[in-house]
Structure 1
């Protein structure tokens, strides 16, 4: 795993989009998943991991109860993977972890919390083509047959219609990324995808630390966060877009009109301007 500490917005862009060129397609089509976090010391614990103890043993019990009581809602769910995505989306502790195809969405979650502007943030970047190399054969075959790099709920159901079957595909730890169904505008606008490992108690950060290729931590220093946040606002990467509805609108307004964090943005003297003309 590589780690790089950036010094400027320009360097950050270069790293986020590095390796985007796909020679086979002759297009800039990266195979990267991103996760932005406001504190670089945060780990990649899932909802189940954070509960600790034997909580992960209750995974099937909670999911069964969720399916029972959530039936009749507006969300059409067929497979266990649809239900797992829906449960994660609404805050149930699961083995899933939220990621995005968009580096700018990742930067939003890195810079949204104004209370952590004095803390370095981090963007995790994972090339899922590399993690796919460690998948068990049935999953590799499924990707090859579909001509895909990430899974859908339907693809996973064909190989493992139940979580127990998924966990028993191999004894070796692996991670895969799957794109959830478009349950609502939030998932669509956040360009969301989930990571999932083959055991409810597995730790993704422990797994990724051992990977020599395709995994990078980009550290965004605290003094650069203001510039990142302001430029994302200008690009319309805001709570209003990523969380459609009145809740997202209120989150955006509360942050946008909050008094600015102390100190000038990186590279700009107090009262100064980058344009000297």
Structure 2
């Protein structure tokens, strides 16, 4: 089933599209929530950064993570990262720009709107915010895997904890053995390790049980779990102005010098 696409033309329509579940229900009434990912170009897929490397992605994933563990050893020790925990190591690597099979998401819709509208070069291009109900995605997990993750008789939560992932899948390679028929498992999880930037962005990650697969393909197999909210150039500029007027900008989502520099670079660019 194709993912639902809506194209609001006003701020009010945009808020409604973001604040209701893809089923059309109110998150409060359904006792569920959504996660968000903003991109500056609506034609972009949900392929992860590792996929752009080509070749044997499984082998490259292992090599990249091994190299990250070795080359960033001092920084990992200084920040008390559990380097033998593959999910924590991969989350840290992804967060700092290393190619991995993870994708960044947020519990905060304004963070997604920021990333959809912050690139001045794309202001003339239609952007997009992905809205996903992770509860429905996790309901499709294989029964045995769901039991390992959540315990007997428990429903899968909207977000997995990193410790749950480590207990059920102690190695990344274990993830690629979980597919049952054509159904690929996909997870949304919160990292146990989080620096100021992840906290400021209410960050979390998604991962698919096949390093060569696009998360969008998985979402299309789960009815009414996702929505694509397209933001045209005119509305994109209005969104950017509203975010900036309320202080929801680089300085909020990238604490420290990096955020200030990015904010100044965007606002002083001719």
Question: Could you tell me the TM-score, scaled by structure 1's length?
Answer: 0.86
Q: Distance in 2 between matches of 1:210 and 1:136?
A: 14
Q: Distance in 1 between matches of 2:246 and 2:143?
A: 42
Q: Say if 2:202 is the partner of 1:191.
A: yes
Residue number in structure 2 paired with 1:39: 41
**Cα distance per residue 1:76-120 (max 9 Å; x no partner):** 233111111111111111110111111110000000011111111
- Alignment length, in residue pairs? 255
Residue number in structure 2 paired with 1:149: 158
**In the TM superposition, what are the counterparts of 1:55-204 in structure 2 within 5 Å?**
55-73=57-75, 74-78=78-82, 79-141=85-147, 142-143=149-150, 148-171=157-180, 172-204=183-215
Partner residue of 2:220 out of 194, 199, 209: 209
- Aligned-pair Cα RMSD in Å: 1.9
Change (3 A) 1:24 1:120: closer
Q: Distance in 1 between matches of 2:30 and 2:169?
A: 31
**Cα distance per residue 1:198-249 (max 9 Å; x no partner):** 1211111222233321110011111111110011112221101111111210
**Cα distance per residue 1:124-159 (max 9 Å; x no partner):** 111001111111224423336597321121111111
Change (3 A) 1:139 1:101: farther
Q: Distance in 2 between matches of 1:54 and 1:166?
A: 16
Q: Say if 2:12 is the partner of 1:10.
A: yes
Q: Distance in 2 between matches of 1:221 and 1:127?
A: 24
Contact 1:138 1:159 in 2 (8 A): no
Q: Which moved more, 1:136-145 or 1:13-22?
A: 136-145
**Cα distance per residue 1:2-35 (max 9 Å; x no partner):** 100101001001111114433476xxxx421111
Residue number in structure 2 paired with 1:254: 265
Change (3 A) 1:125 1:213: same
CA shift at 1:182, angstroms? 4.0
Residue number in structure 2 paired with 1:22: 28
Contact 1:182 1:188 in 2 (8 A): no
Q: Distance in 2 between matches of 1:35 and 1:45?
A: 12
Question: Could you tell me the TM-score, scaled by structure 2's length?
Answer: 0.88
Provide structure 1 residue ranges, at least 5 long, that are not aligned to the other structure.
Answer: 260-277
Contact 2:190 2:205 in 1 (8 A): yes
Contact 1:177 1:193 in 2 (8 A): yes
Q: Distance in 2 between matches of 1:39 and 1:143?
A: 36
Misfit runs of 4+, over 4 Å: 144-147
Q: Distance in 1 between matches of 2:5 and 2:86?
A: 36
Provide structure 2 residue ranges, at least 5 long, that are not aligned to the other structure.
Answer: none
